[in-house]
Amino acid sequence: MAAAQVSVSNLHLVINNKSILTDMSFSIEQGQFLGLIGPNGAGKSSLLRCLYRFQDQTSGTITIDGKNIAEFNRQDYARKVAAVLQEIPSQFNLGVFDVVAMGLTPHKSLFASVSLRDKQAIQEALLKVGLTHKQKQPYESLSGGEKQRVMIARAIVQSPSLLLMDEPTSHLDVKYQIEIMALAKSLGITVVASFHDLNLAAALCDSILVINNGKLVAHGSPQSVVSSSMLAQVFGVNADVTLQQCAEREHAIPHIRYQYQSLQSAINSGTSRSQR
């Protein structure tokens, strides 16, 4: 599992005459953890869809390790790029082990069965996400955090060099949010993840990409990107950003404190205006 180097240049995506992504260019270094942030509907998921080839871009190129992603065949691409999405299977009584084993799909021919080595790989992945003891349970009986960990184990079995995650931690408890992102980070491969929680993104990512209205607004380290002016401009909130020194990290981590008073006054002024 070598880490991949990704570069995106002049990416445009137009769906039904509506421009979803406009002229995006950026690159991700090997082994980096890139966070995507932006308001709802900004184009985070669309960008990820282009990266995992669910959506073909209108123009522009995406290359992985110097090769255009359009040139990969489906199976080869799935061996290189895995994705953890928000889709959750239900009602089909899948066992946890079987869901993790689905990561083998791009590595297997039609007639091949699960070999001893594959079983070992599945066990190792389960161990990594700490769910060895639950492998025989039905997937549906797990908690939200465990379900996402199973999906990550599936991605580990897929042994990709690039992992894409579409808001893998929304609806989860804080503990699991941190756990899952730390788990993804520990894999040592290139990761691109979209975030809902800006503080989490600022704390965990090597670099952050800010998207607004389908355009790339900022790209850089958390310290340089996360600022109160950016938050006001892109997210429309008033917030203070302080830098926190962290013992294990060489850089300070930006910490966001939202100003709820000003929000309240904004609402009040809005209602008073409408009353007038």
Partner 1 sequence: MRFAASNVLLLVCLFSFVCSLSIGAVQVDFYDVWLALWSYDNTQLAQKIVIELRLPRAVLAFLAGAGLATAGLILQTVTRNPLADPYLFGISSGASFGVVLLLTLFGVQSGLAMSGAALLGSICAMSLLLLIAYHKGTAQIENMLLAGVALSFLFNAFTSLLLYWSDPQAVSAIIFWSLGSFSRADWAWMWLPSVVVISGLVIVICFRRHLNALLLGDESAVTLGVNVHRLRLGMLLVSSLLTAVLVAACGGVGFVGLMIPHIVRFFISQARVLGMVVTALSGGLLMLWVDVIARIIIENQELPIGVITAAIGSVFFLSLLMFRKRTASI
- Report the nearest approach of partner 1 to the CB of residue 81 (Å): 7
Neighbours of 198 (CB within 10 A): 24
Q: How far is the CB of 178 from partner 1 (least distance, A)?
A: 24
Nearer to partner 1, 95 or 243 (CB): 95
Answer for the pair 211, 43: CB distance below 8 angstroms, yes or no. Answer: yes
Minimum CB separation of residue 90 from partner 1 in Å reads 9
Q: Tell me whether residue 165 or residue 198 sits nearer to partner 1 (CB atom).
A: 165
Name the residue nearer to partner 1 (CB basis): 35 or 160: 160
Which residue in 4, 159, 160, 12 sits closest to 67, CA to CA? 4
Q: Checking DSSP bridges between strand 190-194 and strand 162-165, what pairing results, if any?
A: parallel
106-113 long-range contacts, CB within 8 A, separation 24+: 106/74, 106/75, 106/76, 106/78, 106/79, 106/158, 107/79, 107/158, 107/159
Task: Report how far residue 103's alpha carbon sits from residue 155's, in angstroms, rounded to the nearest whole number.
Answer: 6
Nearer to partner 1, 33 or 97 (CB): 97
State the minimum distance, in angstroms, from the CB of residue 174 to partner 1: 26
Cα four-point dihedral sign 180, 183, 187, 190:
positive
Residues 6 or more apart whose Cβ sits within 8 Å of residue 116:
none
Query: For 16, left (φ over 0), alpha (ψ -120 to 50), or beta?
Result: left
Q: For residues 99 and 241, which CB has a smaller minimum distance to partner 1 in the complex?
A: 99
CB nearer to partner 1: pick between 109 and 274: 109
Nearest distance, CB of residue 25 and partner 1, angstroms = 24
Q: Which residues are at the interface with partner 1 (CB under 8 A)?
A: 49, 52-54, 74-75, 77-79, 81-83, 85, 87-89, 91-95, 97-99, 101-106, 108, 110-111, 113, 136-138, 141, 158, 164
Minimal distance in Å, beta carbon 261 to partner 1?
41
State the Cα–Cα distance between residues 240 and 228, nearest whole angstrom: 6
**What would the two tokens of residue 45 be?**
């998921």
